[in-house]
Structure 1
Amino acid sequence: MLKNYSRRDFILQNLMVGAGMGLTSMVPYRPRKDDLPAILGGPKAHAGDWSRWPIWKPETDEARVLDVLRSGKWSRANVVADFEARWAELIGSKRCLTLVNGTNSLFVSLLQLGIGGGDEVILPPYTFIACPQAILATGAIPVFADIDKATYQIDPKKLEAKITPRTKAILPVHILGFPCDMVSIMKIAKKHNLVVVEDACQAWLAEIDHKKVGTFGDAGCFSFQNSKNIPMGEGGAIVSDNDEFMDRCYSYHNYGLAHGSVKPEPGGSFVMAGTKLRLTEYQAAIGFSQLVRFQDQTDLRERNAAYLKSLLENIPGIITYSVYENVTKSVFHLFPFRYDQEQFKGLPRSEFLNALRAEGVPCSSGYVPLNKMPYLEHAFKSKNFQKMYTAEELDIQKYNENNSCPLNDELCEEAVWLSQNMLLGNRTDMENIAHAIQKIHKNADKIKKQNA
């Protein structure tokens, strides 16, 4: 089941929070008078600046980083280990291993869970390129299951229909900061004896029934890249309660050196094929500085997103997101909505986006269909894939037909994204966004005529 918060629900659920923001913050938003859109020469709906990202406060953030730099211990050591312990505690997992980025967190997790050549891994098409690339790096083939447009997430029913004897894993993605239907996905995985690697790279602290995403499957993966809600430039993490699995991941990320249950052997201590994916001490120090305000920022984004959603629900042609009934926290790496151009007098989405940017509201169209891009054929033509699979299995035309995701195609034509730093503003900022869209809606025919 889905829940789609109404304006009334939002006000009721946030009354106590709002009380702490001052009485004026609880005055209901009233649409302003019909101004001329900025793209037609009118005033901008939002004339100020949005919060810069990433946020860095020298007075509070630099001490730990400077200590690391002055120590001369820059490669992985105690600061990284301390960050891993803190992240595991925050997510509610037994173990954490940091790596150079979220992409390699996905790759290493899949590899150490036994995924490789000849296998299939099911994932959604509405995600970042890192997901299928991580699957291809193991030698496995990505299989795309269509999405639920209301939630932007993989549809469990369509997922189960994609399972074949070659299927060995599911890679659900908590895209945009909204949790997938992990209860259904885990039931399917158990039924078919599949491993589950959760991509929580955009969903730090998101919850299902008060349990953090990333802790439902065999492994959970996170990203700390510069645009992410907790940035350290580059960085990633794997969390899991499985000690043997985590020891294998650690060994692999450190050249295959024996670690924990991965014991040295008579021939030497490098006991598995591995590589070097270690995080640095100064990256972890930057991560610690971001953790100080991370929870407060997460809560602020959630409050502002709920308020903005309540405003946009009343604008024809703007279709707001829904989340599953058991979701207890969404974390908004992005704020999405769907754009129905017919409700905007046929104004194309590209022209809507330009008009919205002219109002001082940065925005983007989001993902394009990931299941149709040339990287797949490139991988299939590689020497390794040619050796692992038959010509029929690598028939790209047949592959494309089998991996058609029509609802994802529609979503990629309709979606509009607002970035997470915009949700660190105040209620007036959210009202400015809504006002900008209202102006465009009321003058869509004039904008369209100007662009003809």
Structure 2
Amino acid sequence: MNIPLLDLKAQYAKIREEVRRAVDEVLDGGRYILGPEVKKLEEEVATFSQAKYGIGVGNGTDALVLTLDALGIGPGDEVITSPFTFFASAECISRVGATPVFADVDPKTYNLDPAKVREKITDRTKAIIPVHIFGQPADMDEIMEIAREHDLYVIEDACQAIGSEYKGRRVGSFGHAACYSFFPTKNLGGYGDGGMIVTNDESLDRKLRSLRVHGKSEKSKYYNNAIGYNSRLDELQAAILRVKLRYLNEWNEARRQKAALYDELLKDTPVVTPFAAEDRKHIYHLYIIQAENRDGLIQYLKEKGIATGVYYPVPLHHQEVYKDLEYGKGSLPVAEELCTRTMALPCYPELSDENVRMIADAVKSFYNS
């Protein structure tokens, strides 16, 4: 066997001609920065997300940083987020000079536990960044209620979750803003970096459009109202993403079908399969299991030609850069435990059901031996 964790070549093979036509149109048009393709993609992603505005930026991390900046969050402020996520979810907070505050996660969904969020609120708390981890939405009703009670901003980190739903509403439609990543491995991924912010706030939309282009005024690009950034979504990437967006619902459903097959095949093993809350639509950016003897299973599958991944080996509160925050061992026990047990199995639209069965058989074989 030779089964990768993700096969972007297989995806490209199915849409090659559409992508090439889209790229050729951009090249023939000669407009490469913030042109018509970016504008159309912004409108389409906003509509897809049930939001009013979309702002294309350089990547998902920039989306988070610019949003915090536009909301006036900076030195002296605290922002609560998850310790069980990619580093950017906390890095963005530090980048604007604020302090990340980590709250533990729910042991089933792996998302922020609202009860733990409440415990972390102080008079310096200005925002919450719930991460819709691995493609399953956080408990947005509870998080938005906490935000209303304490007059806090909510920025959805939806970088892994475009197209997922909470109680029939798409992620991106709940918070003051939501941030997407179009990194190539995402469910909607470009052929390079890219990101987008969606919001229903017209004032925030204007601020973000200014900040992404050096804080320029609406009068002219040579008049600046703020210290901004150089973070613009490329026209070529936008054209490619517009092609892919047409397939996103289909691809997300294919991931859900692979996940359901895994769930059935692995139900009588020591593996803990992903929990999908009934009121949410999980789109399985990653199919994450908990495994006894995880490292042994990873090595066994590698020897069988099956790629896996560990997401994430170190919780953010134990990262070297945050040692000064003094989160000791056991301070966020659920996240810490998950980092020792979780791993990803291959799960993508082009993965055949036969290969899913082969992977499941290999997992069973490891435990049976």
Q: Identify which of 332, 337, 344 aligns with 2:284.
A: 332
Cα 1:213–1:283, aligned 2, differ >3 Å: closer, same or farther? same
Superposition TM-score, scaled by structure 1 size? 0.77
- Please name the residue that 2:118 is paired with: 160
Shift of 1:291: 1.8
8 A contact 1:143–1:403 mirrored in 2: no
Unmatched tracts of structure 2, length 5 or more: none
8 A contact 2:3–2:346 mirrored in 1: no
Counterpart Cα distance in 2 of 1:220 and 1:50: 27
8 A contact 2:330–2:336 mirrored in 1: no
Q: Identify which of 294, 319, 327 aligns with 1:400.
A: 327
8 A contact 1:98–1:236 mirrored in 2: yes
Structure 1 segments (4+ residues) deviating >4 Å: 46-51
Superposition TM-score, scaled by structure 2 size? 0.94
- Please name the residue that 2:163 is paired with: 205
- Please name the residue that 1:449 is paired with: none
Give, as a single letter, the amino acid of the residue that structure 2 aligns with 1:67.
E
- Please name the residue that 2:261 is paired with: 307
- Please name the residue that 1:174 is paired with: 132
Shift of 1:72: 2.0
Q: Identify which of 407, 432, 435 aligns with 2:358.
A: 432
- Please name the residue that 1:374 is paired with: 320
Residues 1:118 and 2:118 are matched in the alignment:
no
Shift of 1:419: 4.0
- For the residue of structure 2 that corresponds to 1:197, the secondary structure is strand
- For the residue of structure 2 that corresponds to 1:279, the secondary structure is coil
Q: Identify which of 1, 4, 7 aligns with 1:52.
A: 7
Counterpart Cα distance in 2 of 1:429 and 1:105: 36
Deviations 1:85-144 (A, max 9, x none): 111111111000010000010011111112111000000101001111100011100000
Q: Identify which of 359, 362, 383 aligns with 2:307.
A: 362
Give, as a single letter, the amino acid of the residue that structure 2 aligns with 1:416.
M
Q: Identify which of 236, 258, 267 aligns with 1:282.
A: 236
- Please name the residue that 2:274 is paired with: 321
Higher mean alpha-carbon deviation, 133-142 vs 145-154, is at 145-154
Counterpart Cα distance in 2 of 1:217 and 1:145: 18
- Please name the residue that 1:106 is paired with: 64
Identity of aligned residues (%): 34
Counterpart Cα distance in 1 of 2:6 and 2:93: 35
Shift of 1:47: 5.8
Shift of 1:402: 10
Counterpart Cα distance in 1 of 2:331 and 2:16: 49
Counterpart Cα distance in 2 of 1:366 and 1:294: 23
Residues 1:94 and 2:52 are matched in the alignment:
yes
Give, as a single letter, the amino acid of the residue that structure 2 aligns with 1:201.
C
Counterpart Cα distance in 2 of 1:223 and 1:313: 32
Unmatched tracts of structure 1, length 5 or more: 1-45, 341-347, 378-395, 444-452
Cα 1:359–1:69, aligned 2, differ >3 Å: closer, same or farther? same
Equivalenced residues, count: 363
Deviations 1:205-238 (A, max 9, x none): 0001110012111001000011111111110000
Give the CA RMSD over aligned residues: 1.9
Shift of 1:48: 6.4
Cα 1:403–1:410, aligned 2, differ >3 Å: closer, same or farther? closer
Give, as a single letter, the amino acid of the residue that structure 2 aligns with 1:412.
C
8 A contact 2:4–2:346 mirrored in 1: no
Give, as a single letter, the amino acid of the residue that structure 1 aligns with 2:342.
A
